[in-house]
């Protein structure tokens, strides 16, 4: 899957997929063939952290 380069568009896409299809980032990354560490580093650099209570990345 080709991911957007813009971190704000990326977080929107990832949060939508988490909300609609996946239980957690590990499930999402496994299903889509993404490197979870790379995804989390990219989002972390933009100020987003995963919140397991809401199953989304938040600032």
Residue ranges covered by each domain of the chain: 7-58
d(CA 41, CA 24): 16
Q: What is the pTM of this model?
A: 0.93
- One digit per residue, pLDDT tens: the chain, 59 residues? 789 999 999 999 999 999 999 999 999 999 999 999 999 999 999 999 999 999 999 99
> What is the predicted pLDDT for the residue at 42?
96
């Amino acid at each position: 899957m080709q991911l957007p380069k813009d971190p704000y568009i990326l977080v929107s896409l990832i949060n939508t997929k988490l909300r609609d299809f996946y239980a957690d980032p590990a499930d999402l990354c496994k299903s889509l063939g993404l490197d979870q560490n790379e995804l989390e580093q990219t989002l972390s650099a933009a100020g987003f952290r995963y919140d397991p209570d809401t199953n989304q990345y938040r600032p």
